[in-house]
């Protein structure tokens, strides 16, 4: 009898031990699945790096780029998500070697000082890879909640078409809604915030837009201008002016001045165009880029976007990738 009880106890212990092991394994598995990228150790998930040379290149050359907004302190997660998202739609060469995204460690999201390694990122789902020359650089910015990916000088892919394809995939359900990337602004060119340079790039981009546009005779072209001094506050503007010997360099940081220069450039290409903030056919978006290590120079990204990629309320900007429930409710009430 005592022996039977001992067997039952042993059996119970063994069974309980197995159950516990299975439970632990299941719990560890669930914890691993639930663990967010920024919570995992850098030895397991490699951390992308900033390209510090990219800022100096932006001072000398015009670059195509993507400016991405994301929640503050979620920059690392958004970076990985953006890389996976963009490389699905960037024109690729199936025979090319795997590309490397050379970046310096992005430490804004976490306090750890671990040094990440340079990694290879390949779209495993589609099996495509990007030409080695088409290296995306992650540029260090002075503001949280922003990511800037630039293409090398001389490489100008159709960034507007890429973002258009992303929206089409989201609407059709082919692509899942991103968790961290809120908006992707396709930047078609960059330049110093100076009247001559800004007018030149706007003229080129509007001319390109009108060339690709199906001309509708008799229709007046409606346009709007959006200007975002993202992160450049009034006090910083004063400091920039003091640091620079030329007082006219930052004149275009004034919103009205910038609007007038851009509008004049549009009308130079399309004389019969008019401003329409509600239903613009084309929108010229100018974004001041808060670049790190560029204290005395303002660089802007410029885009000329079609109607389908912009929202006009509450202000003119590129459309959000994910429509919030609040926005949907407001739309239904209207």
Q: pLDDT tens for residues 98-156? A: 334 444 444 444 333 333 322 333 233 333 334 433 478 999 998 999 999 999 988 88
Given a cut of 70, the residues of the chain with pLDDT beneath it are 1-48, 91-134, 214-218, 231-252, 324-334
Rounded Cα distance between 217 and 235, Å, is: 48
User: Is 84 contained in some domain?
Assistant: yes
Domain count, the chain: 1
Question: pLDDT at position 208, please?
Answer: 94
User: Is 18 contained in some domain?
Assistant: no
User: Is 120 contained in some domain?
Assistant: no
User: Is 51 contained in some domain?
Assistant: no
Question: pLDDT at position 187, please?
Answer: 97
Rounded Cα distance between 242 and 230, Å, is: 20
What is the number of other CB atoms lying within 10 angstroms of the CB of residue 38?
Answer: 17
User: Is 206 contained in some domain?
Assistant: yes
pTM, to two decimals: 0.71
Digit-coded pLDDT (tens) for 181-209: 999 999 999 999 999 999 999 999 999 99
User: Is 223 contained in some domain?
Assistant: yes
User: Is 10 contained in some domain?
Assistant: no
| Full residue range of the structural domain in which residue 245 is found | 57-95+134-318
Residue 181: which CATH number?
Answer: 3.30.2130.30
User: Is 66 contained in some domain?
Assistant: yes
CA distances from 266 to 199, 207, 275 (A): 9, 9, 10
Question: Could you write out the three-class secondary structure of the chain?
Answer: CHHHHHHHHHHHHHHHHHHHHHHHHHHHHHHHHHCCHHHCCCCCCCCCECCCHHHHHHHHCCCCEEEEECCCCCHHHHHHHHHHHHCCCCCCCCCCCCCEECCCECCCCCCCCCCCCCEECCECCCCECCCCCCCCEEECECCCCEEEEECCCCCCCCHHHHHHHHHHHHHHCCCCCCCCCCEEEEECEEEECCHHHHHHHHHHHHHHHHHHCCCCCCCCCEEEEEEECCCCCHHHHHHHHHHCCCCCCCHHHCHHHHHHHHHHHHHHHCCCCEECCCCCCEEEEEEEECECCCCCCCEEEEEEEEHHHEECCCCCEECCCCCCHHHHHHHHHC
* Contact present, 215 and 92 (Cβ < 8 Å): no
What phi and psi, each to the nearest 5 degrees, are found at residue 297? -145, 135
Question: pLDDT at position 52, please?
Answer: 83
Question: pLDDT at position 146, please?
Answer: 95
Question: pLDDT at position 254, please?
Answer: 81
């Amino acid at each position: 009898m005592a022996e039977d009880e001992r067997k039952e106890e042993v059996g119970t212990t063994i069974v309980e031990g197995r159950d516990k092991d299975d439970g632990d394994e299941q719990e560890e598995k669930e914890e691993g699945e639930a663990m967010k990228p920024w919570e995992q150790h850098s030895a397991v998930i490699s951390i992308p790096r900033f390209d510090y040379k990219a800022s100096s290149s932006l001072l000398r050359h015009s670059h195509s780029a993507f400016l991405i907004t994301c929640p503050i302190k979620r920059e690392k997660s958004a970076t990985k998500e953006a890389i996976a998202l963009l490389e699905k739609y960037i024109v690729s060469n199936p025979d090319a070697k795997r590309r490397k995204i050379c970046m310096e460690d992005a430490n804004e999201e976490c306090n750890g000082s671990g040094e990440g390694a340079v990694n290879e990122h390949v779209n495993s789902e589609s099996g495509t890879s990007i030409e080695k020359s088409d290296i995306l650089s992650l540029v260090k910015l002075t503001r949280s909640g922003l990511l800037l990916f630039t293409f090398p000088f001389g490489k100008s892919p159709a960034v507007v078409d890429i973002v258009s394809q992303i929206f089409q995939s989201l609407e059709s359900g082919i692509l899942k809604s991103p968790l961290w990337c809120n908006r992707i602004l396709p930047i078609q060119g960059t330049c110093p915030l100076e009247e001559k340079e800004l007018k030149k790039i706007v003229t080129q981009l509007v001319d390109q837009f009108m060339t690709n546009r199906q001309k509708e005779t008799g229709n007046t072209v409606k346009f709007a201008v959006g200007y975002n001094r993202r992160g450049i506050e009034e006090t910083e503007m004063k400091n920039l002016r003091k640091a620079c010997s030329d007082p006219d360099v930052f004149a275009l940081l004034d919103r009205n001045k910038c609007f007038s220069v851009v509008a004049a450039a549009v009308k130079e290409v399309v004389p019969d165009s008019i401003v329409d903030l509600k239903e613009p056919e084309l929108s010229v978006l100018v974004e001041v880029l808060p670049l790190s290590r560029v204290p005395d120079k303002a660089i802007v990204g410029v885009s000329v976007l079609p109607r389908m990629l912009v929202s006009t309320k509450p202000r003119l900007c590129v459309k959000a990738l994910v429509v919030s429930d609040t926005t949907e409710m407001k739309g239904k009430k209207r």
